[in-house]
Chains A and B, each alone.
Chain A
């Protein structure tokens, strides 16, 4: 890849000598249980532990009597529907969407991108272009790649600069007259940098192209005002945002949502059905076929309530301090090469002369839960010329002690391997 480099040592300002404590750690039974088991959990970009209120919401929903949503007149059905729809409202407020009708529940971010790739298929003509970036997760790459195959479209890949940002100069020429859709990540799960979305979205808008933002990582690190951002679609997964798995959120601006065709068929999404024909609800109901993950959606509501109750500035400051400590520790070790120049949430690195699999093995033996491999971004790693890397990813409940244990384990592993 022209540009994007693997950085050897850099200098970082030292962080405060005070140990970094997370005031929220005790809210997460999972992180405490793992700690008691000798496990240091630093794989938060893959999925996050859940706070007590989420566990309580799941338990209460089942314990007090479950029922299906949107179909029954009985009390339990009414209660389940209210709780379910209350989450839609919370998501609306969380994202500053114009109305709950702009929020579609899916089974995850991956399903949201697949929904879009099928639902928008009718808008594409052979020779049209879909633009993605070189850092996309498979979830926001393969649905578009396969749509391109189905319809005879060209998939255009935006290159990255040395830091790991989408190259805006290149984007300005590559997003062109034939571009019908731009699909880019807000925050890379490998490079840990906020992407220049306002500029990219302006380029797409100027060409009349639809825009899709992968918020799977971005949604976890800060609240985003989608009205201000101005994208057409935005998707994330509940499980990375401290909620249950099996739930995703797809935001679509109302005019953009209206352009989607129905893609899955069955109960709930249908208004009137005959043997030979049927009429369907508009979005969001029309895009939510079958029984949704009710408990999971309710649990996501509890996660948002929990996050809403936190001091946002304090969380951001804590995450930034942890990240600085992580970078400083990596920079202090010989032969450790960072991928790009991560700014938030995570860092990926490789060590000169040491195989990732060997590092993974020995970190695992020492109870360090980090991710090793190509992180669902194989084409990116191929361009970097790396088989994979080790990824340390942080959450608001991690603390300085987690990092200390990680670095002690890393040193012990490298001592053995070199």
Chain B
């Protein structure tokens, strides 16, 4: 596998050695604070990702050729999960996004249960939307 982006490597180092749910939850809440904010206008219906039980918004923009995503949610732990997803996909192009194994990434972090099919937190829907946006922007 190719090298992880620096922020993702940092996440992996931090999460992989946590012993229990409580520490993982605390760290997720800290990561939640790292999301770049979306303003009120960006929290629009058009930017909403459906398939999530909570509200999730996703915006994509080109920054020096590369695609850059920002995301927000009304649920705090989901914000943490979104931050971990964004850290992992930073710098990936469309092909990189298409090839990304999200389940594997969260499994490495010890968060595999957050991606199980019965979860409706919508991380998979977010990745799907990223792929679509990458194909059209």
Contact = CB atoms under 8 A, between A and B. Distances in A.
Given A364-B113, A373-B53, A388-B53, A357 B22 contact: no
Given A357-B75, A357-B77, A362 B25 contact: yes
B49 interface: no
Q: In the complex, which of the residues A357, A362, A364, A412 has the most CB atoms of chain B within 10 Å of its own CB atom?
A: A357
Contacts of B25: 361-362, 365, 416
Contact of A358 (B26, B76, B113): B76
B75 A355 contact: yes
B124 interface: no
A357 to B, nearest CB: 4
A372 B113 CA distance: 16
Interface in A375-418: 387-388, 412, 416-417
Query: Chain B interface secondary structure, helix, strand, loop or mixed?
Result: helix
A163 interface: no
Nearest to B120: A373
Contacts of B29: 416
B127 interface: no
Contacts of B76: 355, 358, 417
A5 interface: no
B74 interface: yes
A146 interface: no
B21 A358 contact: no
B75 A358 contact: yes
B32 to A, nearest CB: 10
A366 interface: yes
B54 interface: yes
Query: Chain A interface secondary structure, helix, strand, loop or mixed?
Result: helix
B119 to A, nearest CB: 9
A412 B77 contact: no
A381 to B, nearest CB: 12
A372 B77 CA distance: 15
A179 B54 CA distance: 38
Contacts of A362: 21, 25, 77
Interface in B13-66: 21-22, 24-26, 29, 53-54
Given A412-B22, A416-B25, A357 B113 contact: no
Contact of B53 (A357, A364, A417): A357
Nearest to B28: A361
Contacts of A416: 22, 25-26, 29
Contact of A355 (B74, B113, B114): B74
Nearest to A366: B21
A289 B26 CA distance: 55
Contacts of A373: 53, 120
A357 B54 contact: yes
B2 to A, nearest CB: 30
B8 interface: no
B78 interface: yes
Nearest to A388: B53
Contacts of B78: 357-358, 361
Given A373-B53, A417-B76, 19 more contacts: A355-B54, A355-B74, A357-B75, A357-B77, A357-B78, A358-B76, A358-B78, A361-B25, A361-B75, A361-B77, A361-B114, A364-B113, A365-B21, A365-B24, A365-B25, A365-B113, A372-B53, A387-B54, A412-B22
Interface of B: 21-22, 24-26, 29, 53-54, 74-78, 113-114, 120-121
Enumerate the 6 nearest inter-chain pairs by beta-carbon distance, A residue then B residue, closest first. A357-B75, A365-B21, A355-B75, A357-B54, A361-B77, A358-B77
6 contacts: A357-B75, A361-B77, A362-B77, A365-B21, A366-B21, A373-B53
